């Protein structure tokens, strides 16, 4: 739904025009700083150069220092396996006069570029085209970092007696699954504790319309192995009496959805309570689904995206066509990714998937399932003071009412934030839009909405400074 708030900036002692003017004057510099960050291919996967991730952390830390933050450190903690986690920037500006503290989160690591032939520009060279900035990380999530930095610079320049406590937590391994995140929170709890936490890693409703993300799906995933032979054999000599492993795997995969495309695994939560819908024409444009493809599932598209489970096969081990031969494949593996509706316990979802897989008649094939990730769903109390302040700030910055939306994706570490800091109010905001193509080729940022996002966060900081929670 949209949130209508008739209070203007003056109602909270906030000089919107002064903040807006400062951001406009600073904007060329902000885009240049973002472009410099995009140029650093900081990827937290073991198969990529770790030095680049360190370069990224150092560059972000210097921007944070220059913005006026104190006690700026690049920190790492071990994962549960003992490996060292990615470099995170933590900086603190202590609260004064009893004012609350706000923690501003984003991540500086990025996804790999993928097939660079699919890019229209160089992935690590920020390129502006028709009001959008293209490049890996331009939107996800280096723009989130620059929103925090630029908003802080604006309030420090234009808000008198700024005593709001501000903490930066800029992670360096989010795209790799945040393996050290919980340990990091526990280790540095004293430096990260806050009254409000802003996670700038989501999306707006569309270009020109801001959104506060009020729900996220949880997630679960795992790897299935299907084996039918001890070793590979000639497909002509032995084909016929035995079905190869990819064929058996395909039969298993076909049981995950019903004829209408709904997930058909018993025991998974499914809800129908979205207050707004996603028009089919808009969804088709935003998702790039082919005109000939029928959409899957039933009910509102918004519910299918936000409040119902979704299962995708995201990887499969079979020979590529280029190296295939007349050989029956003895075994294959595939990885499934399951998004969970709010209210679903991830452990119960994993068990439901396991029971479903092992219950199928696969002609005696050996089948195993190993879970490899899970995360809780998230829902915001939009009546809370911080959420109301954020909705107001978004509306003021964009000039149109903010929309309260769900997101089909997951941010599993939010459940860790809730558990370690149960008293904190968590806000999920973002700078992306449906055409940002995060994780895909030609990732981009709408520069007009980027400017609005900076102003919205500056307004939020100023309001919390002046009026608290």
Write out pLDDT tens, residues 293-342. Answer: 999 999 999 999 999 999 999 999 999 999 999 999 999 999 999 999 98
Confidence category of residue 86, pLDDT binned at 50, 70, 90: very high
Structure-token pair, residue 355: 């029971």
Q: Please check the confidence at residue 3 and state whether its pLDDT lies above 80.
A: no
Whether pLDDT at 8 is above 70: no
pLDDT at res. 379: 84
Is 70 exceeded by the pLDDT of residue 268? yes
Quote the pTM value: 0.83
| Active-site residue identified among 33, 140, 173, 174 | 174
Cα–Cα distance, 33 to 200 (Å, whole number): 18
pLDDT at 406: 87
Residue 9 pLDDT:
66
pLDDT per position as a tens digit, 102-123: 999 999 999 999 999 999 999 9
Does 460 score more than 80 pLDDT? yes
pLDDT band at 11 (very low <50, low <70, confident <90, very high): low
Q: Which is the catalytic residue, given 109, 244, 433, 449?
A: 109
In whole angstroms, give the CA distance from residue 270 to residue 261: 14
Is the pLDDT at 6 greater than 70, yes or no? no
Is 26 annotated as catalytic? Answer: no
Residue 1 has pLDDT above 50, yes or no: no
Distance CA 178, CA 413 (A): 7
* pLDDT (tens digit per residue) in 189-202: 999 999 999 999 99
pLDDT at 18 over 90: yes
CA distance 248 to 205: 41
Q: What letters, b where the CB count within 10 A reaches 16 and e where it falls short, cover 138-162?
A: bbbbbbbbbbbbbbbbbbbbbbeeb
pLDDT tens-digit readout, 355-413: 999 999 999 999 999 998 888 888 888 999 999 999 999 999 999 999 999 888 778 78
Enter the DSSP assignment of 295: P
CB burial string 332-348: b at 16+ within 10 A, e below: bbbbbbbbbbbebbbee
**Per-residue confidence band for 53, with pLDDT thresholds at 50, 70 and 90:** very high
Residue 2's pLDDT is what? 46
Per-residue model confidence (pLDDT) at position 10: 63
Place of tokens 């920190």: 75
Q: What is the pLDDT of residue 236?
A: 94
Percent of the chain exceeding pLDDT 90 equals 87
| Residue range 171-200: mean pLDDT, rounded | 96
Q: Is 109 a catalytic residue?
A: yes
Residue 428 pLDDT > 90: yes
**pLDDT for the residue numbered 387:** 97
């Amino acid at each position: 739904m949209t949130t209508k708030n008739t209070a203007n900036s003056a109602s909270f002692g906030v000089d919107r025009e002064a903040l807006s003017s400062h951001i406009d004057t600073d904007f060329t510099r902000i885009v240049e700083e973002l472009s410099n960050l995009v140029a650093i291919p900081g990827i937290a996967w073991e198969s990529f150069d770790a030095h680049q991730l360190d370069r990224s952390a150092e560059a972000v830390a210097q921007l944070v220092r220059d913005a006026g933050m104190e006690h700026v450190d690049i920190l790492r903690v071990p994962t549960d396996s003992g490996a060292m986690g990615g470099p995170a920037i933590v900086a603190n500006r202590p609260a004064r006069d009893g004012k609350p503290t706000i923690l501003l989160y984003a991540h500086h690591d990025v996804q790999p570029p993928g097939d660079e032939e699919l890019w229209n520009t160089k992935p690590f060279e920020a390129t502006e085209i028709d009001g959008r900035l293209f490049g890996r990380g331009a939107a996800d999530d280096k723009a989130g970092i620059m929103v925090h930095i630029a908003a802080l610079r604006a309030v420090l320049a234009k808000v008198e007696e700024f005593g709001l406590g501000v903490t930066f937590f800029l992670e360096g391994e989010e795209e790799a699954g945040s393996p050290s995140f919980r340990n990091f929170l526990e280790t540095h709890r004293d430096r990260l504790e806050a009254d409000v936490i802003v996670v700038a890693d989501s999306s707006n409703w569309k270009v020109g319309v801001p959104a506060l993300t009020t729900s996220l799906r949880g997630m679960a995933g795992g790897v299935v192995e299907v084996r039918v032979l001890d070793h590979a054999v000639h497909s002509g000599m032995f084909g016929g009496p035995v079905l190869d492993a990819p064929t058996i795997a395909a039969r298993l995969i076909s049981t995950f959805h019903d004829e209408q495309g709904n997930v058909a695994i018993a025991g998974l939560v499914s809800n129908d309570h979205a207050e707004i819908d996603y028009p089919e024409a808009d969804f088709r444009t935003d998702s790039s689904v082919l005109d000939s493809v029928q959409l899957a599932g039933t009910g509102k598209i918004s519910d299918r995206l936000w409040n119902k489970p979704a299962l995708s096969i995201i990887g499969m081990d079979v020979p590529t066509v280029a190296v295939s031969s007349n050989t029956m494949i003895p075994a294959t593996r595939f990885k499934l990714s399951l998004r969970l509706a709010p209210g679903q316990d991830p452990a119960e979802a994993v068990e439901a998937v396991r029971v479903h897989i092992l219950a199928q008649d696969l002609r005696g094939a050996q089948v195993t399932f190993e879970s490899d990730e899970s995360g809780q769903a998230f829902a915001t109390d939009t009546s809370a003071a911080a959420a109301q302040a954020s909705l107001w700030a978004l509306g003021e910055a964009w000039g149109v009412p903010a929309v309260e939306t769900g997101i089909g994706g997951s941010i599993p570490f939010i459940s860790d934030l809730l558990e370690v800091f149960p008293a904190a109010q968590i806000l999920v905001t973002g700078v992306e839009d449906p055409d940002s193509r995060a994780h895909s080729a030609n990732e981009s940022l709408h520069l007009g909405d980027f400017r609005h996002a900076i102003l919205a966060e500056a307004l939020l900081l100023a309001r919390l400074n002046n009026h608290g929670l």
